[in-house]
């Protein structure tokens, strides 16, 4: 909810901490501020803080801490220098600086709790985004359980969920790290904090494949959370599509190996699992340069050619269009494995590399044959190195959506097509595309929600990450192309175009999203990124209209109401915008800040899950029950939400 209040932020006359670790009281120096917009989580913690501070000339991390200390009451912080630990400070090509902090409690990181401070080129703070948890109690910081005992507890849990396959699995247990698992305050209960170990258990075998993130209580040994972080796209295939491609290889012995070091020194490397489940497998070799690659295989001949060549093209796209050096931005290796398993109808990013199965040629052709599928999987790696979006619930759906969105931009860079570019896997689908971002619910094999009124509150598929991503996909499509949302029937009269859309979403993905960002945070991020990029009032309105059309923002495409309930007399902070009729919305004249809470789903609509499910045993293929749930929801749409504002 937004209302109007007067806000004074106090700055520090001198920085630093006093003896005993206690911060000095800030000098009573008011910073020059314009109107500040404040959005609160239902727990009371601030999630978005937007305005303009005085200009800072010092080191960015120190300047950010100085600002946060002065603004601590408004941001619901008590001692920022004790509560926050700098993760990184990064200056972008616009001259803005972004400082990212992790929340800590008694020196131990709080899982998923972060804060980002964004500086304008002149040194003024213009935005603070936060997922921090307010008012956490102190906890004993000495674990009763050793790291080895925590690993054993997780291994036992992992094995129990894979009965009958354990003897064939190849697992790797990461190093347990002490963390605080926090729960924000809720109705009638205070915030909670638990000392825990966090680590990963990996299994790269086909019949038990998983990359499970474990959180184990450091005092009792209880499994507090376990979810599969294996990021996937469903597909099938029979082999290469028959198109000729040129690609780079390296001499090896008397022949050649699929290794391209012309783009990144660490190399684009392509392997074959030879229908096993071993990763990365063996390098793909050939005795001659031309027409001797990946032939004579059991199934899907030419998959290695597709995976290798497409990886190079996706690298070129990120480098040319976005000045990004590969997956990690630091010219790291790009590794692909083909011929994984037998008739394997999937592809995935496993946290280290891309993996492609041969498929069964019943539903899909060979996955590596889809250039957009390769772009999708590689983008999961980009997301991992940037926002590290959790792969469950809304953050996971946002993660999936980003991969689809950048796959669409990549495909448009190769061959612009306003229809096919916004479909996923159309080249490899025997019966059609895997997903359609323009019409998410109309894909017969895996229909997706199109609007928040159709949001699926399920535990399968890590909370519906491959299903609910359709809502963000459609918002991105409408922003870029314009069009009509199939549920709300709201019209976005025209789009930003591919070039502006790419600039917008890359900035969102690399500068604003955090590990637990949800759909509302994504809408905030597009507004902030658009403002940074100097978008016009009309372009800002297009963005607002797209989020409105899919129900993440409440209201209509004519008034661009923000994604929260608005108090009478307080108008949108978007500065006006574009509507279906081309008219501009009202502008905000007040100098005072606006305070808001997170948006609930419209009455009568499904809301996002509030908790986290134990998903340790969940496979990465979207289960049939989830598909049926979408179809049932599609049949009763009109009865659930007759109007998007309900």
Q: What is the CATH number of the domain that holds 619?
A: 1.10.390.10
Count of residues making up the chain: 646
d(C-alpha 470, C-alpha 633), whole Å = 14
Going through 324-473 in order, the beta strands assigned E by DSSP cover 334-338, 346-349, 354-356, 423-424, 435-436
Whether residues 444 and 562 share a domain: the answer is yes
Contact in structure between 556 and 548 (CB atoms under 8 Å)? yes
Whether residues 120 and 152 share a domain: the answer is no
> Considering the domain boundaries, does residue 174 fall inside one?
yes
Which residues, at least 6 apart from 389, have a Cβ–Cβ distance to it below 8 Å? 383, 395, 396, 398, 399, 402, 513, 514, 515, 516, 517
Across the beta sheet with 255-257, the strand order is: 250-252, 255-257, 285-286
Whether residues 616 and 494 share a domain: the answer is yes
> Considering the domain boundaries, does residue 492 fall inside one?
yes
> Considering the domain boundaries, does residue 233 fall inside one?
no
Whether residues 199 and 93 share a domain: the answer is no
- Tokens representing residue 486 in the block: 């199939």
| Closest listed residue to residue 627, CA positions, set 472, 470, 437 | 470
- Beta carbons within 10 angstroms of residue 254's beta carbon: 6
Whether residues 577 and 463 share a domain: the answer is yes
Three-state DSSP class for 334? strand
β-strand partners of 212: 201, 228
Whether residues 591 and 626 share a domain: the answer is yes
Whether residues 183 and 314 share a domain: the answer is no
Which pLDDT band holds residue 236 (cuts at 50, 70, 90)? very low
As a whole number, mean pLDDT of residues 269-286 equals 93
Q: How many domains does the chain have?
A: 4
Q: Which residues are catalytic?
A: 377, 466
Stretch among 45-49, 188-192, 394-398 having the lowest mean pLDDT: 188-192
Whether residues 214 and 359 share a domain: the answer is no
pLDDT of amino acid 231: 66
Stretch among 17-26, 451-460, 519-528 having the lowest mean pLDDT: 17-26
Higher pLDDT, 553 or 44: 553
Whether residues 120 and 186 share a domain: the answer is no
Q: What percent of the chain has pLDDT over 90?
A: 61
Residue 476 in this model has a pLDDT that exceeds 60:
yes
Residue 640 in this model has a pLDDT that exceeds 80:
no
Which of 256-265, 421-430, 557-566, 569-578 is predicted most confidently? 421-430
Contact in structure between 433 and 443 (CB atoms under 8 Å)? yes
* 424, 449, 475, 481 from 419: Cα distances, Å: 11, 19, 15, 10
- Beta carbons within 10 angstroms of residue 535's beta carbon: 20
Task: Let me know the angle formed at the C-alpha of 249 by 247 and 250, rounded to the nearest 5 degrees.
Answer: 160
Q: Provide the domain limits for residue 22.
A: 10-130
Tens-place pLDDT, residues 278-297:
999 999 888 888 888 998 89
As a whole number, mean pLDDT of residues 475-495 equals 98
What's the chain's average pLDDT? 80
Paired sense of beta strands 268-272 and 334-338, if any: parallel
Which of these three, 164, 193, 228, is where a domain ends?
228
Residue 513 in this model has a pLDDT that exceeds 90:
yes
Tens-place pLDDT, residues 561-617:
333 332 322 223 333 332 222 232 222 222 233 333 333 443 333 333 333 222 222
Tens-place pLDDT, residues 56-99:
999 999 999 999 999 998 899 999 999 999 999 999 999 999 99
The DSSP code for 136 is P
> Considering the domain boundaries, does residue 3 fall inside one?
no
Whether residues 436 and 562 share a domain: the answer is yes
DSSP string, 152-213: HHHHHHHHHTTTTTGGG--EEE---EEEEEEE--BTTB--EEEEEEEEEEEE--GGG-EEEE
> Considering the domain boundaries, does residue 376 fall inside one?
no
Q: Supply the CATH number for residue 323's domain.
A: 3.10.170.10
> Considering the domain boundaries, does residue 386 fall inside one?
no
Whether residues 276 and 179 share a domain: the answer is no
Which 3-state string (H, E, C) describes 62-121? HHHHHHHHHCCCCCCCCCHHHHEEEEEEEECCCCCEEEEEEEEECCEEEEEEEEEEEECC
* 67, 182, 486, 496, 554 from 479: Cα distances, Å: 34, 35, 15, 6, 16
> Considering the domain boundaries, does residue 517 fall inside one?
yes
> Considering the domain boundaries, does residue 238 fall inside one?
no
Tens-place pLDDT, residues 152-177:
999 888 877 654 433 445 678 999 99
Which residues, at least 6 apart from 253, have a Cβ–Cβ distance to it below 8 Å? none
Whether residues 170 and 210 share a domain: the answer is yes
Which of these three, 166, 194, 228, is where a domain ends?
228
Which of these three, 104, 130, 156, is where a domain ends?
130
């Amino acid at each position: 909810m937004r209302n109007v209040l007067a806000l004074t932020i106090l700055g520090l006359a001198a920085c630093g901490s006093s003896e005993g670790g206690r911060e000095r009281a800030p000098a009573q120096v008011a910073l020059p501020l314009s109107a500040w917009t404040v959005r609160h989580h239902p727990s009371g913690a601030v999630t978005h803080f937007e305005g303009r501070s005085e200009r800072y000339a010092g080191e960015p991390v120190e300047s950010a801490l100085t600002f946060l200390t002065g603004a601590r009451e408004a941001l619901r912080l008590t001692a920022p220098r004790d509560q926050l630990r700098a993760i990184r400070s990064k200056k972008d090509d616009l001259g803005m600086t972004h400082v990212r902090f992790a929340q800590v409690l008694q020196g131990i990181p709080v899982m998923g709790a972060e804060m980002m401070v964004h500086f304008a080129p002149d040194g003024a703070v213009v935005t603070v985004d936060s997922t921090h948890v307010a008012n956490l109690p102190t906890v004993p910081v000495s674990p009763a359980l050793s790291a080895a005992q925590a690993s054993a507890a997780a291994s036992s849990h992992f094995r129990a969920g894979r009965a009958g396959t354990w003897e064939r699995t190849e697992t790797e247990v990461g190093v347990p790290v002490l963390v605080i698992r926090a729960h924000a305050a809720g109705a009638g209960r205070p915030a909670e904090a638990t000392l825990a170990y966090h680590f990963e258990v990996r299994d790269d075998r086909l019949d038990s494949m998983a990359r499970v993130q474990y959180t184990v209580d450091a005092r009792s040994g209880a499994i507090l959370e376990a979810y599969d972080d294996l990021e996937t796209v469903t597909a099938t295939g029979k082999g290469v599509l028959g198109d000729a491609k040129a690609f780079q290889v390296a001499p090896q012995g008397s022949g050649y190996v699929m290794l391209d070091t012309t783009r990144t020194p660490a190399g684009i490397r392509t392997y074959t699992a030879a229908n096993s489940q071993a990763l990365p497998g063996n390098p793909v070799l050939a005795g001659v340069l031309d027409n001797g690659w990946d032939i004579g295989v059991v199934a899907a001949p030419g998959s290695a050619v597709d995976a290798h060549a497409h990886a190079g093209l996706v690298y070129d796209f990120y480098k040319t269009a976005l000045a990004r050096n590969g997956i990690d931005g630091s010219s790291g290796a790009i590794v692909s494995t083909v011929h994984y398993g037998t008739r394997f109808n999937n592809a995935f990013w496993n946290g280290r590399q891309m993996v492609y199965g041969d498929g069964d040629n019943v539903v899909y052709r060979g996955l590596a044959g889809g250039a957009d599928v390769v772009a999708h999987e590689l983008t999961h790696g980009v997301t991992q190195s940037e926002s590290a979006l959790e792969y469950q619930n809304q953050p996971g759906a946002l993660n999936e959506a980003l991969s689809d969105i950048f796959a669409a931009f990549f495909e448009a860079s190769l061959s612009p097509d306003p229809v096919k570019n916004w479909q996923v896997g159309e080249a490899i689908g025997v019966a059609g595309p895997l997903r359609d971002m323009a019409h998410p619910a109309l894909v017969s094999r895996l229909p997706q929600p199109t609007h928040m009124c159709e949001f699926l509150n399920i535990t399968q598929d890590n909370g519906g990450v491959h299903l609910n991503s359709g809502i963000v996909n459609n918002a991105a499509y409408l922003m870029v192309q314009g069009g009509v949302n199939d549920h709300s029937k709201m019209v976005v009269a025209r789009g930003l175009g591919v070039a502006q859309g790419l600039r917008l979403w890359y900035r969102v993905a690399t500068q604003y999203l955090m590990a637990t960002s949800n759909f509302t945070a994504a809408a905030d991020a597009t507004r902030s990124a658009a403002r940074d990029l100097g978008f016009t009032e009309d372009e800002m309105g297009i963005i607002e209209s797209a989020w409105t059309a899919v129900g993440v923002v409440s209201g209509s495409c004519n008034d661009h109401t923000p994604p929260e309930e608005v108090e009478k007399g307080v108008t949108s902070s978007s500065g006006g915008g574009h509507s279906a009729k081309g008219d501009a919305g009202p502008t905000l004249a007040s100098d005072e800040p606006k305070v808001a809470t997170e948006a609930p789903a419209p009455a009568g609509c499904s809301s996002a899950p509030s908790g986290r499910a134990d998903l340790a045993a969940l496979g990465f293929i979207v289960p049939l029950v989830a598909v049926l749930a979408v179809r049932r929801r599609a049949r009763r749409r009109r009865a659930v939400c007759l109007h998007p504002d309900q």
